[in-house]
Structure 1
Amino acid sequence: MEELTTGVRYAVTDRHGGVSAAPFNSRNLGGATADDYQDVLRNRELTARQFGLAADRVVWMRQVHSATVARVSAPWGADAPELDAVWTTEPGLALAALGADCAPVLLADPVAGMVGAAHSGRVGTLTGVVPNLVAAMAEAGAEPARMTALVGPMACGRCYEVPAAMREESAAVLPEVRATTRQGTPALDLRAGISAQLARAGVGSVRQDARCTIEDPDLFSHRRDQPTGRFAAYVWLAH
């Protein structure tokens, strides 16, 4: 747990410290996996407690690789809608974005008292989920120039191999994602693409958790280990 900016806390989990059995061992926070859902709930409870949060004050999304954003004032529980970004002005309400190669992206404007979280995979990045989140917060009174963003762990451009046609189609939408693997094959660099989107949106400070999920065995990676679990990035306004 660290400070993202004044009055805003964040944390990025790893795969250790939970109760899930292999291949989800052990801190799987993803409810849409084949893991025992009671184990997932226990992992979420243990993690919230570790961060000084109440488990019933964490907002989980039903992530579907969309560009949909919503304001939240309380968790949805089992009835979460399908969307990939949320923001709030509620102190102590934590927002969680799951990942296992896709990027969790956190945003905060401490002056406006707003925080946001997005799940930005290939489809969400190309359709603009992160710019949509910045715009939604700005429409409610946040200023991008005051915002701090954290781009979390994800599959890096040296590892995220894709077919050549997919790289060309993606780069036609967002040129910064064009990349090449260490082996010289076509790849996508979503970190470069998301960082460029944040810069174009006028976000004042962009921080990076540069870990690659495929390379780092402490993180879940769908490409490396499927089936596997999900880690999460949390952000909340301190009381």
Structure 2
Amino acid sequence: MNETASAALRPDDVLQAPTLQGDGQLHHAFFTRAGGVSKGLYGGLNVGVGSQDAPEDVQENRARAAFFLGRADGVIATPWQIHSPDVAVVDAPFGTERPKADGVVTRVRGLPIGVVTADCGPVLFADRDAGVIGAAHAGWRGAIGGVLDRTLDAMEDLGARRERIVAVLGPTITQPNYEVDAAMMEPFLAEDAANERFFTPGRSETKRQFDLPAYIVAKLTRLGAQASFVGACTYAEESRFFSFRRTTHRGEPDYGRQLSAIVLL
């Protein structure tokens, strides 16, 4: 861990939300590409264990992120994400078998939890009074499918109260860069006809531009949380973030992932 300590990430290397700072009870970060050791397509702080990056570089990047959050042994509990509504309650570091889930919650102090993304929405949650935190990976499937609802439910099961929960959406692909098939509107309109406002015309009659961040924040607000968005686009800001869609448009063989994580102090 000497290399990690000597190459510690700086506050300027991450994004942080004012609503999750300031009282000494929490530490969090929406990590960017800055400060990592990966090279080539993965240049920077790639934390994706599912990528084809050199495993030793991914582990060093994850260790640097954990060190930033105050965990000197490199531990960050991130699930095996499958675009599901499932949520895991975490009371100890994961072993080699990570749970298949897209949300994690805990009340264990000193244990960072998080999710990895490359366009989908990473949401960090906290109820300071109850000492309960959460993280969720919300792409369009997860967001409409219930991962946000279930993360809030799981936090309440640990003693949180919905009206006290702060939820912050981290770097996510934004509407100008998120073209989808018009048919994708159907489950959103079935949920609520007012969701049509999150779709604007695309380049043809069969395409739409989807505002995933606005949908996530609106849904979290409707569910009773105090929700906000950090206002950063993964697709548009290439020097700061990895993007699955940008990689796909370029025909590149793989892509990196960034971490969003939170810990109770």
Fold in common (TM above 0.5): yes
Q: CA separation in 1, counterparts of 2:202 and 2:182?
A: 15
C-alpha distance in structure 2 between counterparts of 1:34 and 1:141, whole Å? 40
Following the alignment from structure 1 to structure 2, what is the Cα–Cα distance between the partners of residues 182 and 216? 21
Partners of 1:65 and 1:144 in 2: how far apart? 24
Equivalence for 1:193: 215
Tell me the amino acid that sits aligned with residue 262 of structure 2.
Answer: V
Letter in 1 for 2:56: Q
Letter in 1 for 2:185: R
**Largest Rg, 1 or 2:** 2
CA contact (8 A) 2:88 2:99 kept: no
Query: Which whole-Å CA distance do the structure 1 matches of 2:42 and 2:202 have between them?
Result: 28
- Is 1:222 the equivalent of 2:222? no
Aligned to 1:89: 107
Aligned to 1:237: 264
CA RMSD of aligned residues (A): 1.9
Post-superposition offset of 1:10: 1.0
Alignment of 1:104-183 (within 5 A): 104-173=122-191, 175-176=194-195, 178-180=198-200
If asked which structure has higher relative contact order (CA below 8 Å, sep 6+), I would say 1
Amino acid corresponding to residue 89 of structure 2 in structure 1: R
- The question of 1:208 aligning with 2:235 is answered no
Unmatched segments (≥5 aa) in structure 2? 1-10, 249-253
2:110 alignment partner AA: G
Contact 2:235 2:245 in 1 (8 A): yes
TM-score by length of 1: 0.92
Q: 2:4: which partner in 1? A: none
Alignment gaps of 5+ in structure 1: none
TM-score (ref. length: structure 2): 0.83
**Structure-1 separation of matches of 2:27 and 2:201:** 34
Q: Is the 8 A contact 1:57 1:74 kept in 2?
A: no
- The number of residues matched between the two structures is 237
Report the residue type matching 1:194 in the other structure: I
Give percent identity, aligned residues only.
35
Give the deviation of 1:74 after TM superposition.
Answer: 1.4
